[in-house]
Amino acid sequence: MIYKLPDYKSLEVSEKVADYLGIKRNLLNTDDIIDWSKQIANLPKVWQQTKGEGIKIAILDSGITEHADFDGAIKGCVNYTREPDMTDNENHGTLIAGIVGARINNTGVLGVAPKCDLYIAKVMDANKNYDTEHVVQGLEWALKKDVDIVSISLGMTEYHQGIHDAIKDLVSANKHVICSAGNDRKLTFPASLPETIAVGSIGKYLISRSGYLGCGLDFVAPGVGLWSINRFARLHYIQSGTSFAAPFIAALSALILSKHRKTTSRTEVKDTADLKDHLKKMSLDLGGVGWDGIYGYGFPGHKSVQIESEFVSLLDPKDLTPKGYKKLMKYLSHT
């Protein structure tokens, strides 16, 4: 079978290569890309119960680029940088927003919580620069907007009292702050705070891509080989980073909150401690028994998930025509 990527470039790939790239069709009668991360977390089954309806997620990052995948999703925006508007000039915030809440619309990708509400605070500019005071303002804005979850994929090497205070205010109001843990084998701030949920990264083999992060790491999630929307409003294949694992857990948490609000449950999710407990119960333990400094409590995916050789088969040029292989390599190198 031949698949065609819905992008500005025509690219046909064999079924084996499509599987490697995480392309699955018609699981929800949609042409949106549902990549490996959603499949391995058993999300198509979860989406039968909830898609994150009624849950507000704030993303503090580099802004967002307009795309059909975000139509109706963005409920609030604010820009704290010196740049003139919300446009994502760094190619970070848009990728994160796509992982969280890209809509079902037969174009582009599908987010983990495709019916959640997005609130975008632009705190980082095109050069990856951000002022800590702008991060504080973004957190305070999120609290004023009464969001349920805040996703932060900014890592700092030094403690900042103002950011900590703003996070404590959010947590005191029963909001959940989920942070990327860092990519340099050291837990970064604010993921290092006890009030946050710190997330490391894994790839398709469910092997850590962030390494030993030590005390404070809570969970790991897919952060390698994901599909999203980039700042040019095109499909983008993400190579790696805990920046993209944190929004996965943020959106997964939205599914948990949404489901609990829809149904009567014996186990409530009142605060971040409750949310962590729920994520622990869902987690596939990937390292030593129980918590460890590489995987935390594991990956909050489906516990019965099986890793098959076909699922993680390596990309083989023989699966493509020479012309098709050249197109694929060019596509991946320019996105």
Residue 302 structure tokens: 């489906």
CB-CB neighbours of 4 under 10 Å = 12
Report how far Cα 33 is from the mean position of its chain's Cα atoms: 15
DSSP string, 291-328: -BTTTBT-B-S-TT----TTTTPPP-GGGS-HHHHHHH
Active site residues: 61, 92, 243
Nearest Cα to Cα of residue 201 among 212, 216, 215, 189: 212
Beta pairing, strands 176-180 & 197-202: parallel
DSSP string, 130-154: --HHHHHHHHHHHHHTT-SEEEE--
In the DSSP assignment, the letter for residue 251 is H
User: C-alpha distances in angstroms, 25 versus 234, 268, 283?
Assistant: 19, 35, 27
> Helices in the chain by DSSP H: which ranges?
15-20, 36-40, 43-46, 93-101, 132-144, 161-172, 245-262, 272-282, 322-333
Q: What whole-number distance in Å separates Cα of residue 311 and Cα of residue 45?
A: 18
Q: What whole-number distance in Å separates Cα of residue 247 and Cα of residue 99?
A: 7
In the DSSP assignment, the letter for residue 242 is T
Non-local (6+) Cβ contacts of 328 within 8 A are 11, 13, 17, 320
Strand, coil or helix: 92: coil
